Amino acid sequence: QVHLVESGGGLVQPGGSLRLTCVDSGTTFGLKIMRWYRQRSGKGRELVATIISDGGTDYADSVKGRFIISRDNANNTVYLQMNSLKPEDTAEYYCNVFYEGENYWGQGTQVTVSS
């Protein structure tokens, strides 16, 4: 069973930083490919960042150079460090894993970038 819980969202000014956290209550976390998605108001869900079991990462072009995804396998946790935030980063952010044929999502955490 997989249960993902995100935290760390909030209101931040343009240029600021936030760190999102996602904890996976399931097992074999270290083997899982973990992803962060976001959904802006009125838009579909988009992939932001991916991290595989050996720590390899990939990013959407819109966040490359600003966001960093990382993982702590000992604590079943994946992070998204978001720097140089822009108003267009405002969205609900979701942690995701596809595991044993099922797609699992967290409840989401809202990030608002505004002055």
Instruction: Quote the pLDDT of residue 31.
Output: 83
Q: How confident is the model at residue 2 (pLDDT cuts 50, 70, 90)?
A: confident
pLDDT over threshold 90, residue 30 = no
- AA identity, residue 100: E
pLDDT over threshold 80, residue 1 = no
Instruction: Quote the pLDDT of residue 104.
Output: 93
Polymer length of the chain: 115
Q: Which two tokens stand for residue 77?
A: 């946790």
pLDDT tens, residue by residue, 4-16: 999 999 999 999 9
Instruction: Quote the pLDDT of residue 27.
Output: 80
DSSP string, the chain: ---EEEE--EEE-TT--EEEEEEE-SS-GGG--EEEEEE-TTS-EEEEEEE-TTS-EEE-TTTTTTEEEEEEGGGTEEEEEE-S--GGG-EEEEEEEEETTEEEE---EEEEE--
